[in-house]
């Protein structure tokens, strides 16, 4: 990822780019909010698929703001091809269905979203109005400055970023004004190849233990390291993954062992003791086979074969 300057907005760089203690998870300082020109940071206009742009444009035509959010923005900044594009809008889910995409489906209980199918492509569209009522852990976030007088759009996006799992997944991108919004130092962590929770890691993982597995997936797929606080919390709270309901646990594991990241995922599961919890017999077998070996690459390649992973998962559960 290329280095970004700390110039003020208008020069193609970021605004309010001074260093801040906000880089620490859980310490959100509005003075550190940053704005990047997507053209200056290497996101070409053609990086957004036509069908995705069409979904954004239809929301905009109806008078709503719409942004790309999460992993797709992260991957665009890393010059990687996103596997999907998630959208967030100022429209409520009801407004999306009644005024924009009448054939969409509203799914999910914990975090409901609209599934929008457009010309053969499927997009997940969430709403700021839904998310702002479901942000937890905000009492653990310290604001060094009052947000009074700040732009309403900034407040909306900032509040939404607080509910997200990791800083690198908390970026917003408006392709219409070519602006990337960063409220939690996500770009800074991208530069450092770090996976860091938005709110304090222990609070984040207690709130949702599945974030532990999602963090491992991000680190494995991107080759990133965990921040020290996040790493400690994973070790401390690793048993809590058994509190995840089995269908969701199976889904998280399926994602983790897909997209060519199975080997690195298994390494991380072993490193943090999660393989012993999820698949104790297989973990014991691996440990026995690795005794006295200087390299585990051959065995790991065997175990990380996608078919083998699915068999192991089926045996384990």
Alpha carbon 198 to chain centroid, angstroms: 10
Per the annotation, the verdict on 165 as an active-site residue is yes
Pairing verdict, β 86-89 and 121-127: parallel
User: Which residue among the candidates 29, 37, 165, 182 is catalytic per the annotation?
Assistant: 165
Report the sign of the C-alpha dihedral through residues 25, 28, 32, 35, in that order: positive
Contact call for residues 39 and 50 (beta carbons, < 8 A):
no
Per the annotation, the verdict on 86 as an active-site residue is yes
User: Which residue among the candidates 84, 151, 236, 243 is catalytic per the annotation?
Assistant: 84
Q: Which helix (H) or strand (E) segment is 50 a member of? A: helix 50-61
Alpha carbon 67 to chain centroid, angstroms: 15
Residue closest to 186 by CA, chosen among 198, 199, 201, 174: 198
User: Which residue among the candidates 29, 37, 86, 182 is catalytic per the annotation?
Assistant: 86
Contact call for residues 35 and 181 (beta carbons, < 8 A):
yes
Contact call for residues 137 and 207 (beta carbons, < 8 A):
yes
Mapped onto helix, strand or coil, the DSSP state of residue 227 is coil
Per the annotation, the verdict on 84 as an active-site residue is yes
The full length of the chain comes to 317
Which residues are catalytic, by number? Answer: 84, 86, 165
């Amino acid at each position: 990822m290329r280095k970004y300057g700390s110039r003020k907005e208008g020069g193609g760089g970021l605004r309010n780019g001074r260093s801040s203690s906000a880089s620490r998870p859980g310490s959100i300082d509005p003075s550190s909010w940053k704005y990047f020109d997507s053209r200056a940071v290497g996101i070409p206009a053609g990086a957004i698929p036509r069908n995705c742009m069409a979904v954004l444009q239809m929301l905009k035509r109806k008078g709503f703001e719409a942004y790309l959010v999460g992993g797709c923005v992260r991957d665009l900044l890393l010059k990687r091809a996103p596997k999907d594009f998630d959208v967030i809008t100022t429209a409520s889910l009801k407004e999306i269905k009644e005024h924009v995409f009448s054939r969409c489906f509203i799914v999910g209980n914990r975090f409901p979203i609209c599934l929008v199918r457009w010309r053969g492509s499927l997009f997940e569209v969430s709403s700021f109005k839904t998310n702002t009522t479901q942000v937890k852990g905000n009492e653990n976030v310290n604001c060094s400055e009052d947000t009074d007088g700040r732009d309403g759009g900034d407040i909306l996006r900032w509040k939404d970023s607080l509910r997200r799992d990791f800083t690198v997944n908390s970026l917003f991108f408006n392709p219409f004004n070519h602006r990337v919004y960063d409220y939690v130092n996500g770009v800074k962590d991208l530069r450092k190849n770090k996976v860091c929770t938005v709110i304090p890691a222990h609070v984040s993982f207690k709130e949702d233990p599945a974030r532990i597995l999602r963090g491992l997936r991000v680190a494995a797929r991107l080759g990133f390291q965990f921040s020290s606080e996040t790493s400690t919390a994973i070790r401390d709270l690793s048993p809590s993954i058994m509190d995840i309901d089995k269908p969701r646990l199976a889904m998280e594991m399926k994602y983790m062992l897909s997209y060519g990241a199975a080997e690195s995922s298994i390494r991380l599961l072993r490193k943090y003791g999660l393989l012993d919890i999820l698949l104790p017999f297989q973990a014991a077998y691996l440990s026995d086979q690795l005794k006295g070996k200087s390299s585990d690459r051959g065995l790991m390649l065997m175990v990380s074969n996608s078919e083998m992973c699915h068999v192991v998962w089926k045996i384990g559960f």
